[in-house]
């Protein structure tokens, strides 16, 4: 986890009130260029510090669409995390992510939260990965008291959403084994 490369992308230089899709589109181009510039494994912290207003349209065009492209695997072993002074600022972003069936981690002053759509069992699993920093599906299945396959399904979805990092580290019989790690420092 600590070896992940990191870059912060402040949104405020685009304006303290961010509203239109037109402005959002040009910000997205810069955001994705910044993401691509980070060596893998890498995370881009999208900072909402000093932003007063983030409309749904701007948030969708800049951040949610970038998140959608990240989820396709287009950017390899890279991750996006939002950093916000409050959940209220990111409220419309969360709504847009929900519409896209996506989710992002949001770093607040003294805690983290999830923006967008993530069911309670998935949140529980995500919280454990973040807490343990590094773990395995087998270990998680034991803590959660669920079947290994069910756990694999959960972490697979979290990895697809780019909420955790999942590395294939070997084989157990015909099946791959994974190391799971948090993309944020808890």
Partner 1 sequence: MTKLTVQTIDQVIEVITSKCSVDLDLTRVDFIDPYALLLLVLSLRHRENLGRPLHVRWPVRKDVQGWMHAMGFFAELNDPKVPWRSEASSKSDALQPMTHIIGEEEVSRLVNAFDKRLTSRYPLTVESRSALVKVMFELFQNIPQHSNATGDVADPHGLAAMQDYADSIFLAVADAGIGLRKSLSTREGFVDLSDLSALNRIVYDGMSRFSDPGRGGELRQIAKLVRRWDGLLVIRSGEALLYMDAERGDVYDAPYFPGVQIGVRLPRRVFGIDTPAVDNEAFL
Q: Which is nearer to partner 1, 18 or 152 (CB)?
A: 18
26 contributes a contact to partner 1 by CB under 8 A: no
Of residues 51-110, those binding partner 1 (CB under 8 A) = 52-53, 55-58, 60-61, 64-65, 68, 88, 92, 95-96, 99-101
* DSSP-assigned states of every residue in 86-114: -TTTTHHHHHHHHHTT-EEEEE-SS-EEE
- Nearest alpha-carbon partner for 44 in 61, 54, 32: 32
The tokens describing 56, both together, are 């749904």
**C-alpha–C-alpha distance, residues 132 and 143, integer Å:** 11
Q: Which is nearer to partner 1, 117 or 177 (CB)?
A: 117
Q: Which is nearer to partner 1, 67 or 180 (CB)?
A: 67
Give the phi and the psi of residue 179 in degrees, each rounded to 5.
Answer: -110, 130
Residue ranges in contact with partner 1 by CB under 8 A: 15, 17, 19-23, 52-53, 55-58, 60-61, 64-65, 68, 88, 92, 95-96, 99-101
């Amino acid at each position: 986890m600590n070896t992940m490369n990191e870059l912060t992308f402040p949104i405020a230089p685009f304006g303290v009130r961010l509203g239109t899709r037109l402005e959002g589109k040009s910000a997205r181009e810069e955001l994705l260029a910044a993401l691509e510039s980070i060596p893998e494994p890498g995370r881009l912290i999208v900072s909402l510090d000093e932003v007063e207003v983030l409309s749904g349209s701007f948030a969708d065009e800049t951040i949610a669409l970038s998140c959608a492209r990240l989820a396709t695997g287009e950017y390899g072993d890279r991750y996006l995390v939002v950093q916000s002074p409050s959940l209220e600022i990111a409220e419309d972003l969360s709504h847009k992510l929900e519409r896209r069936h996506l989710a992002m981690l949001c770093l607040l002053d003294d805690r983290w939260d999830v923006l967008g759509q993530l069911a309670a069992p998935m949140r529980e699993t995500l919280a454990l990965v973040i807490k343990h920093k590094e773990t395995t599906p087998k270990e998680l299945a034991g803590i959660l008291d669920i079947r290994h396959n069910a756990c694999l399904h959960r972490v697979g979805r979290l990895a697809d959403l780019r909420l955790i990092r999942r590395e294939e580290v070997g084989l157990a019989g015909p099946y791959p084994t994974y190391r799971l790690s948090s993309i944020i420092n808890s």
